[in-house]
Amino acid sequence: MARIHIETYCHTKRVSRGDGAFVRRAIEEHWSDKEPVVLDFDGVRIASVSFFDETLGLLARKHDLETLKLHVKVENIDPADRRLLNRIVLARAKERQMDASEDATQR
């Protein structure tokens, strides 16, 4: 199982959208693994919409939530960060569904 400790992987406690893209690419590299990639937020508080959007929001736009849950596990995340992450992922998932509905009506 791949484990990404955010603070160590990003070499900082202050993360950016660029760091989020870096982490997302690492997740995508392990997408076909049998075990989920673990994102370990121990020791870091994110509080960054752009990091969460780039990391998991874009994946939620590309994959349904059940698939995302099978491939990524989040651990040791601050409760406020968890709420922020959940809002972003749900918003991107909703966008994905709306795009699928628009595509279906255009056919």
Give me Rg for the CA atoms of the chain: 14
The predicted-structure confidence for 42-101, as pLDDT tens digits, reads as follows 999 998 999 999 999 999 999 999 999 999 999 999 999 999 999 999 999 999 888 877
Please give the Cα distance from 28 to 53 (Å, whole number): 15
Q: Is 4 helix (H, G, I), strand (E, B) or coil?
A: strand
Note whether 48 and 16 are within 8 A (CB): yes
Whole-structure pTM value: 0.89
Q: How much is the pLDDT for 3?
A: 97
Q: How much is the pLDDT for 40?
A: 97
The predicted-structure confidence for 15-43, as pLDDT tens digits, reads as follows 999 999 999 999 999 999 999 999 999 99
Q: How much is the pLDDT for 91?
A: 96
Please give the Cα distance from 95 to 39 (Å, whole number): 24
Q: Is 46 helix (H, G, I), strand (E, B) or coil?
A: coil
